[in-house]
Amino acid sequence: MIAVVLTVLGIGIGVYRFTGALDAVDTGSRFADGDTVTLRLDADSDKAIWIKDRGPSPAQKCTISGPGDPRLTDPGIDVFLTRDETWNPLRTIEVSRPGDHEITCTSEGPSLYAIGDRGGYVTLAVGVIAAVALPALGILIGTTVVAVTAFRRHAHRGRLLAERRVCSGGEDAHRPEADRVPKPVGSGSGSG
């Protein structure tokens, strides 16, 4: 049962991560340096600002304004590839209150930006590792349970057979009547 649960869980994580990675960046809604984009975000939104090809300048800056205290943080390393483009996460969007938030990005050279989910292909790879590891762990646990159960049943069966032999007078008690060695008549004590 554990093996089945872990296998189903692993497959579910793999499918979820794969579909999430395919749609990680909304490349259809791009914006350029100096453009302001308005997003309606919830407090638990999982969005990031992505930049195409990282641009000619390493000095990209983005600002966010809106209700509460929205922040832009470092997203770590990830990548999203389309047919002929490479997108990298620039900033992770963190908001404390839902509402409309305005984002503006600038750099020293021309750059293109897009809004997307936090996870790209690196996140997908981590999900795939989990998707493979969980079923493998489930199969290992299932195999171990079967092996231990089989060993214990074999050992218990051996003990029961040994007890039966002792209780019924030895090994002859288990053989069919026709296979038993007959005892000679007149041998034994008491007739003299």
- How are beta strands 36-41 and 99-106 bridged, if at all? antiparallel
| pLDDT tens digit sequence for 113-171 | 888 877 656 666 666 777 777 778 888 888 898 899 999 998 888 888 888 888 776 55
Residue with tokens 């060993």: 151
Contact assessment for residue 62 and residue 72, using Cβ atoms and an 8 Å cutoff: yes
| pLDDT on residue 120 | 59
| pLDDT on residue 179 | 55
- Is the Cα dihedral 113, 117, 122, 125 positive or negative? negative
Tell me: pLDDT of 100 over 90: yes
7: helix, coil or strand? helix
- pLDDT band of 192, cuts 50, 70, 90: very low
Tell me: pLDDT of 190 over 70: no
| pLDDT tens digit sequence for 66-75 | 998 898 888 7
Q: What length is written for the chain?
A: 192
36: helix, coil or strand? strand
pTM value is: 0.54
Average pLDDT of the chain? 76
Contact assessment for residue 120 and residue 47, using Cβ atoms and an 8 Å cutoff: no
Tell me: pLDDT of 11 over 50: yes
Check residues 122 and 178 and name the one with the higher pLDDT: 122
